[in-house]
């Protein structure tokens, strides 16, 4: 059996545990929607979502087979500051709701916060950050995971304005 995985509409040969979500692949289903923007450089172009405080985007995927409950869930994010600002922080939240067969889908999210992240003081410098949590028992293979990514208030020195999110990856350990 192949490890082919659907990634924002393109079949890829990456392990199912690497559930990369591009900014363009995030769905705008919540009240505060981060704007999808095309970023044009001299050499590269890409889509990003502009996350201000309280902006949220969602997606859903099957939980892959072979998940290791209790192992480490690594959350990896690539973003840039839209404006230059020294000594400012941002904070992000990954939320999940895991629904099994024959269960109601309308359940509440559980949150995993990043804690304050110091923003690079140079505008448009790419930042790649990670934070971790223990993989909860709710992550059972074959269930549907409803996920939400959001920017929340930092505890101090909040960056005013948006950050541009390129990719987000909840890396689920598998055996």
What torsion do the CA atoms of 170, 22, 140, 75 make, to the nearest 10 degrees? 10
CATH classification number, 17-172, choose in 3.60.20.10, 2.60.120.260, 3.30.450.20, 3.20.20.140: 2.60.120.260
Angle among Cα 97, 102, 107 to the nearest 5 degrees reads 25
pLDDT, tens digit (0-9, with 9 covering 90-100), for 7-45: 333 334 445 445 667 777 777 777 788 988 898 889 999
Distance CA 17, CA 70 (A): 15
Q: Is the pTM of this model over 0.75?
A: yes
- Tell me, what's the pLDDT at 86? 84
Residue ranges per structural domain of the chain = 17-172
pLDDT, tens digit (0-9, with 9 covering 90-100), for 36-56: 889 888 999 988 899 999 999
Which token pair is 83?
Answer: 């404006």
pLDDT, tens digit (0-9, with 9 covering 90-100), for 117-167: 999 888 888 999 999 998 888 888 889 989 999 999 999 999 998 999 998
């Amino acid at each position: 059996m192949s490890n082919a995985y659907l990634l924002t509409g393109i079949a890829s040969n990456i392990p199912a545990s690497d559930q990369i979500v591009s900014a363009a692949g995030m769905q705008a289903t919540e009240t505060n929607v981060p704007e999808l923007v095309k970023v044009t450089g001299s050499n590269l172009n890409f889509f990003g979502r502009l996350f201000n405080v309280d902006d949220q985007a969602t997606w859903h995927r099957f939980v892959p087979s072979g998940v290791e409950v209790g192992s480490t869930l690594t959350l990896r994010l690539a973003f840039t500051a839209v404006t230059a600002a020294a000594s400012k922080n941002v904070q992000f939240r990954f939320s999940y709701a895991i629904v099994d067969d024959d269960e109601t889908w309308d359940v509440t999210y559980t949150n995993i916060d990043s804690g304050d992240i110091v923003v690079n003081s140079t505008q448009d410098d790419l930042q790649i950050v990670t934070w971790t949590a223990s993989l909860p028992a709710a992550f059972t293979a074959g269930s549907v995971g409803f996920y939400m990514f959001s920017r929340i208030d930092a505890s101090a020195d909040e960056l005013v304005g948006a950050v541009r999110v390129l990719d987000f990856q909840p890396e689920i350990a598998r055996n």
